[in-house]
Structure 1
């Protein structure tokens, strides 16, 4: 809700109300076709004022709660002024005007009232459509924000998986080196065992030779 927008609409409706009051003052001294033209002009102003009041109500609904009551009170004041002006302008022409003029005015007034009702209905339908579009845009923006957050989270998870994979590759390389070292140690152990067995056999042969030489020579 924009307070500047609300104030701008207030200025517009105040100007229209002032114009309607001026038309009302002049219409008192008019009759016949001049009065009809003044009434038509006033009715166009009334339609414009009602449209602006509808926009004011839409803006007030978006206002914070602590301001909404104040704004709605001001809107009621504008609507009362507009309704009063409309009632004043719908009064019959001054005394002395012909009956045919009054009949023609009533017929045109009924037509203008029907057109005004259609215009207000169209504006209300347009306002509801605009509100629906605004809600759709809000939902789309929220959905887009959720999508961005999900993409960011997936990116973080991807980086985590890449780091984990790199650590696994390093661990596999370390395990390969460890296997090589263990194999080398196993070969050395086997070599040492063979050397030890040869030494033992040599010692046994020497011991046997000495024994034979001592007892049988």
Structure 2
């Protein structure tokens, strides 16, 4: 919320600076050029009033500890805008706006100017801090992004190596499976061969016994 108010304050400072410029032009120019500056100043006054209304709405949403500070600022901005409107009327009538500063309440005007300068200095300092914080955040984000990309690259390399190892293991398992299949075939063949030999030996022994017994009979 405070950052939004800071944005409004920056816009307001810019608008009032433009108003002051056009009031100076109104005092020195004549004819069509003077009327152009009057119209532009009127538009800027409307814009400044809208900004003050937005500030009032935002101040109401602040916590109590911040509300008083911003309320005081908005009041000073309103007083400043009223003074600029008075200077605008004098400029339209061709009255020297500086005459009142020389012969009028110089103390009050000086105090307003000093307050405005202090507020603007504080605003610039706060904006500078915000920019510095934003720059630091951007640098930290960039560093974090670079670290993440580096980690992802390392993880991708690790996954690639693991995949290559798995492919090698699959290849080795395939070769081992073929070797085992060949060994099983040879074992089966050897067993069949042994059974055949044993069967032949049994037949031969049986025949030998038969003929021996028969011969003695």
TM-score (norm 1): 0.48
TM-score, normalised to structure 2's length? 0.48
With a CA cutoff of 8 Å and minimum separation of 6, indicate the structure with the bigger relative contact order: 1
